[in-house]
Amino acid sequence: MREDFEKDGKKLSVLYDIALTVGKSLDLKTILNDVLKKITEFMGVDAGVIYVIDDTTLEMIPVAFKNLSEEAIKDLCERKVRVGECLCGNIAKFEQELIIFEKASQDIRITRDALKREGMEFYAGLPLKSKGKVVGVLCVITHVPYSPDPDSLDILRAASIPIGLAIENALLFETTKKELELQKKVSNFEGIITTNPSMLSILDLLRKIKDLSTTILIYGESGTGKELIARALHFNSIRKDKPFTVVNCAAIPETLIESELFGYVKGAFTGANAEKKGLFESSDGGTIFLDEVEAMSKNLQLKLLRFLQDRTFFKVGGTKPLTVDVRIIAATNQRLEDLVKLKQFREDLFYRLNVIKIELPPLRERSEDIPLLVRYFINKYSSKMSKPVKGISPEAMSIILNYQWPGNIRELENTIERAVAISETEELTINDLPPEIMPSLKTKKSETSFRLIKEHFEHEYICKVLALTNGNRKKAAQLLGLHPSTLWRKMKRFTKP
């Protein structure tokens, strides 16, 4: 009796300790690192990892590690698997724990070479659930033979409950925080930074159609801000208090995307132990943004077409029609009309999606917006990184203005983030820019000096800014961060015969 009492006391003590740990913070990484440390200690295992499922891509994101080799950590982070793939992905898919008591690295279900080389003897993987949904997977291992007592496994199973809830709460907090930031960013379309006539025309169109239920197709090269435009439409519309759901059609495996969109009934397939709402049903009253819509299979294209016709759909394995009020905004970086000609995209679906088309110009056609975006990103990342960067040199800005930006705004943002990260001064310089955006500096005279190159860049930059201000030297000087007399002296030097 006393022994049983002591065991129960130990269980409660460990679970209470874990419950306190997960309640200390809303930072996901902090929570999971702390809880993984406690779990490996009380179980007496060598190592562990906790994955969190990305709802958008269904990728298994390794968030917390304990005593894994650098090779294994690098492999898990760089070669992410999705739900239904590899060992941890199947634990998530089938919502069932898996325990391998000996020679785990030799088990045929371990498919990753890096994990095989870990020399695992014991392996335990448990799904982490919240509100009936798997939100992550907890794995613990040993490198030597290990025989856990039943009580330890019971504690591990019991601990998975508060961990799952903690993941759900942390993700909800992060999502809510990001949504609020994004809502603020696109409120009244003010967060869309532009003075470009084409973009201003698009913003005028958005204001006219924001409250319509009409299907919208956004075309633009990768990185032009298609999701930002979709968010602006939603959060400035009468639907703003309802869900805005992003679906990357190319990121979710074809075998899973139908059930993710439309949901499924209990028993629809192996592992469907309970009925699940799909994204269409959970987004009722709101907006679904279908990014890379061209990646949909022909079968899914047909189901989407049927939905667009009467806003009715069937769950996978279901016979009861469901009707929801959801606005569809689709996006693509390919010409769907060309894919229609190639029989790769349904013509009838194309016309259903293409009711209102918004075509975003690439950044190379928005050169007047580049200085505004550069300043915005400098302020954003200098604040985020607590760096003293306040501006950018004329030579560096000239290089940025003359680069073609095939990756568009996303590439520009990544470039400025990198530059701010490595900068050691208050002003970004040529040395802070990545080599791939640097122009060839070769001229007919191989001895061209750096001074002449610098003056050339400075001259080009000043000319571009003067063009933006329609020749207004006072405004140009403000944009350049120069005193008007300094700008006058530079212009005078450039115009010398």
Domains, the chain: 2-170 (3.30.450.40), 200-360 (3.40.50.300), 365-494 (1.10.8.60)
pLDDT at 212 > cutoff 90: yes
Q: Distance from CA of residue 364 to its chain's centroid? A: 24
* Whether the Cβ atoms of residue 189 and residue 232 lie closer than 8 Å to each other: yes
Which residues partner with 328 through β-bridges? 288
Q: State the pLDDT at residue 217.
A: 97
The angle subtended at Cα 358 by Cα 357 and Cα 359, nearest 5°, is: 115
* Whether the Cβ atoms of residue 138 and residue 128 lie closer than 8 Å to each other: yes
**Least confident among 142-146, 193-197, 303-307, 455-459:** 455-459
Q: State the pLDDT at residue 448.
A: 43
Q: Distance from CA of residue 21 to its chain's centroid? A: 28
- Mean pLDDT across the stretch 163-190? 71
Residue 371 tokens, joined: 């200085």
pLDDT at 228 > cutoff 50: yes
- Mean pLDDT across the stretch 282-311? 94
- Mean pLDDT across the stretch 380-387? 90
Segment 403-430, tens digit of pLDDT = 999 999 999 999 999 999 999 899 999 9
pLDDT at 195 > cutoff 90: no
- Mean pLDDT across the stretch 290-296? 95
pTM over 0.75: no
* Whether the Cβ atoms of residue 249 and residue 293 lie closer than 8 Å to each other: yes
pLDDT at 153 > cutoff 60: yes
Segment 55-86, tens digit of pLDDT = 878 888 999 988 888 888 888 888 888 888 88
Long-range pairs of 78-87 with CB within 8 A, sequence gap ≥ 24: 79/112, 82/57, 82/58, 82/252, 82/253, 82/256, 83/53, 83/58, 83/134, 83/256, 84/58, 84/253, 84/255, 84/256, 85/60, 85/253, 86/60, 86/111, 86/112, 87/111, 87/125
pLDDT at 107 > cutoff 70: yes
Segment 234-251, tens digit of pLDDT = 999 999 999 999 999 988
pLDDT at 283 > cutoff 90: yes
pLDDT at 443 > cutoff 60: no
* Whether the Cβ atoms of residue 80 and residue 61 lie closer than 8 Å to each other: yes
